[in-house]
Amino acid sequence: MTSLPPALRPARDDDSEPLASLIAASFAEYPNCLFAWEEFPELRRPASHFAAKKGKLWIADAPGGGIAASLGATPVPEQNAVEITKVYAAPAFRGTGLAQALFGEALRFAQEGGFGEMMLWSDSRFARAHRFYEKLGFRRWPGERYLADISATWEYPFRLSLPTRP
């Protein structure tokens, strides 16, 4: 018997702890990739944070509790783009289409807003995520940025041009 994938919903501020747990567990899969609350103040009230920036954060609840996956989208009007952030999926839900469904929500958000591009930054260690983004049509752009965080993170930029609407 095949179980249905978790339903997607808008984030709530009380998703703070389970979202932080999902991110910390994702980081723990990589050497020297550490989670520190002080580096993620937006996680204290995630729904309010995204709403204040006119963005959205979607959550998929895991059966039995916790969060199976997340993805956020925030307008960057000066670049005519939507920035994708907080893209995480628990290992049991990778490869199930759940992340693609979350991306579909972000794509609708960007298209309904009339934006011409989606962009994101991804930790240089997250090669599996890079392959996922490329499968979605994102292209890695030249350059990188250093975050000077607890994990000494370097990130790569990715961009996806959106079709123009008539």
Helix (H, G, I), strand (E, B) or coil at 166: coil
Q: What local confidence, expressed as pLDDT, does residue 69 receive?
A: 97
Phi, psi at 118, each rounded to 5°: -115, 145
Count CB neighbours of 6 within 10 A.
19
Q: Distance (Å, rounded) from C-alpha 40 to C-alpha 36? A: 7
Length of the chain: 166
Q: Distance (Å, rounded) from C-alpha 68 to C-alpha 59? A: 8
pLDDT mean values, one per 10 residues, the chain (166 residues):
71 97 96 96 97 98 93 97 97 93 96 97 96 97 96 98 78
Count CB neighbours of 93 within 10 A.
18
Q: What local confidence, expressed as pLDDT, does residue 164 receive?
A: 72
Q: What local confidence, expressed as pLDDT, does residue 4 receive?
A: 55
Compute the radius of gyration of the chain from its Cα atoms.
Answer: 15
Q: What local confidence, expressed as pLDDT, does residue 165 receive?
A: 62
Bridge partners of 155?
123, 145
Q: What local confidence, expressed as pLDDT, does residue 64 receive?
A: 87
- Contacts for 140 with CB less than 8 Å, ≥ 6 apart: 130, 133, 134, 156, 157, 158
Q: What local confidence, expressed as pLDDT, does residue 1 receive?
A: 38
Give Cα separations from 159 to 9, 90, 117, 138, 162 (angstroms): 25, 24, 7, 5, 10
Q: What local confidence, expressed as pLDDT, does residue 125 receive?
A: 96
Count CB neighbours of 126 within 10 A.
19
Q: What local confidence, expressed as pLDDT, does residue 6 receive?
A: 78
Q: Which domains does the chain have, with CATH numbers?
A: 8-161 (3.40.630.30)
Reported pTM? 0.93
